[in-house]
């Protein structure tokens, strides 16, 4: 049986001053290399201030020359590949924030935890050095979102 590991986030890059995920690289035969980038879209707020739709991962394709690398990220997966695609973990919400679900953890016969990842980009703490921060919370506190596929999320057990 293969070892189960939490789902990783694709590497972070800067596009138009926003921190986004670099999910793919393609080199078309008739043009320059392009990158598939993605970010979490929470929808515009209406008059009530509440989001109009559930958070979702959206993306686009841009020229690789239009993205800026971040020193702390590992881009080796795209180094020599002329075509490569990475998938971000599914989204959940916890305490009003949209986060990525990297794994379910079981620590006892009935206690489950959710392994969550979030992107931190706080210029006051670390200018131009966004990073991914992980934490575990009780699974019962996490809300799944319609339209997300949770089947690839590994279920890790403390005894494994």
- For 107-139, the pLDDT digits (tens) are 888 899 999 999 988 766 665 678 899 999 999
Task: Report the alpha-carbon distance of residue 90 to residue 56 in Å, rounded.
Answer: 9
Task: Report the alpha-carbon distance of residue 25 to residue 61 in Å, rounded.
Answer: 9
Helix (H, G, I), strand (E, B) or coil at 19: strand
Contact 42, 51 (CB under 8 A): yes
Task: For residue 72, give every residue at least 6 positions away whose Cβ sits within 8 Å of its Cβ, in sequence order, or none.
Answer: 129, 131
Q: Exposed, middle or buried by CB within 10 Å (0-12, 13-18, 19+), for 44?
A: exposed
**Would you state the pLDDT for residue 71?**
86
**Would you state the pLDDT for residue 23?**
96
Task: Report the alpha-carbon distance of residue 102 to residue 114 in Å, rounded.
Answer: 8
**Would you state the pLDDT for residue 28?**
87
Task: Report the alpha-carbon distance of residue 114 to residue 7 in Å, rounded.
Answer: 12
Answer whether residue 160 shows pLDDT above 60: no
The per-residue pLDDT for range 10-64, each reduced to its tens digit, is 999 999 989 999 999 998 889 999 999 999 998 765 555 555 578 999 999 999 9
**Would you state the pLDDT for residue 103?**
97
Task: Report the alpha-carbon distance of residue 91 to residue 96 in Å, rounded.
Answer: 12
The pTM assigned to this predicted structure is 0.86
């Amino acid at each position: 049986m293969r070892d189960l590991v939490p789902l990783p986030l694709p590497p972070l890059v800067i596009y138009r001053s926003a921190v986004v995920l670099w999910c793919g690289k393609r080199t078309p035969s008739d043009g320059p290399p392009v990158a598939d980038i993605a970010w979490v879209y929470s929808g515009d707020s209406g008059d009530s201030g509440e989001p109009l739709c559930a958070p979702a991962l959206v993306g686009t394709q841009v020229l690789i020359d239009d993205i800026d690398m971040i020193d702390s990220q590992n881009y080796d997966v795209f180094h020599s590949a002329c075509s490569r695609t990475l998938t971000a973990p599914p989204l959940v919400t916890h305490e009003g924030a949209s986060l990525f679900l990297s794994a379910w953890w079981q620590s006892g016969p009935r206690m489950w935890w959710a392994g969550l990842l979030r992107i931190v980009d706080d210029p006051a703490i670390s200018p131009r050095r966004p990073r991914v921060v992980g934490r575990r919370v009780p699974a019962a506190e996490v809300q799944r979102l319609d339209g997300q596929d949770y089947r690839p999320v590994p279920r890790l057990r403390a005894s494994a």
